[in-house]
Amino acid sequence: MARVYVSSVIEAPAARVWERVRDFNGLPRWHPAIRDSRIENGEPADRVGCIRDFHLQNGDRIREKLLALSDYDYFCTYSILESPMPLTGYVATLRLTPVTDGNRTFAEWTAEFDCAAEAAEELVGNIGQNVFQAGFNALKRQLAG
């Protein structure tokens, strides 16, 4: 099983960061790699079990299912249902923790999945840098000041 872990500190209160990332259909508003997104069957974007269908800037299509969402603990967990990436069993969690020293946010994004051994290093690096870290970097730019 491959694992990805990326963490960062965002110079904004956790509640403010959560407002930005909580919307399961809101990726295009904060993540630079996402072109568009929609929730299937008109379900609310915060309903556990809803499915988002989105496109990357390069046109690739991904479908993900919301598995858990907590406004109290500031986290969401989701799985990939369809993706061009050669992986299976993908489950990821985006978690925010308040940093009381300076009213900042400690952000963690993790994923576990199965893939061929020869693809693991490239997938872990790509997801870690081009998805997770790129998202954190965008949040830092958007929420600065």
* pLDDT at res. 77: 98
pLDDT reading at 145 higher than 70: no
Domain count, the chain: 1
* Whether 90 contacts 84, CB under 8 Å: no
Q: Is 78 within 8 Å of 66 (Cβ atoms)? A: yes
Q: pLDDT digit string (tens) for 78-133?
A: 999 999 999 999 999 999 999 998 889 999 999 999 999 999 999 999 999 999 99
Q: Which amino acid is at 77?
A: T
Q: pLDDT tens digits, residue range 11-50? A: 999 999 999 999 999 999 999 999 999 999 999 999 999 9
What pLDDT, in 10s, does the model give residues 3-12?
999 999 999 9
Average pLDDT, integer, range 125-145: 94
pLDDT tens-digit profile of 49-79? 999 999 999 999 999 999 999 999 999 999 9
Compute the distance between CA of residue 9 and CA of residue 98 in angstroms, rounded to an integer: 10
Which pTM value belongs to this model?
0.95
What sign has the CA pseudo-torsion 46, 75, 103, 9? negative
Query: Which domain covers residue 75, as residue numbers?
Result: 2-143
> Taking Cα atoms as reference points, which of 142, 125, 128, 138 lies closest to residue 32?
138
The CATH number assigned to the domain holding 62 equals 3.30.530.20
Confidence of residue 144 (pLDDT cuts 50, 70, 90): confident
Give the Cα-Cα-Cα angle 145, 140, 74 (nearest 5 degrees).
Answer: 105
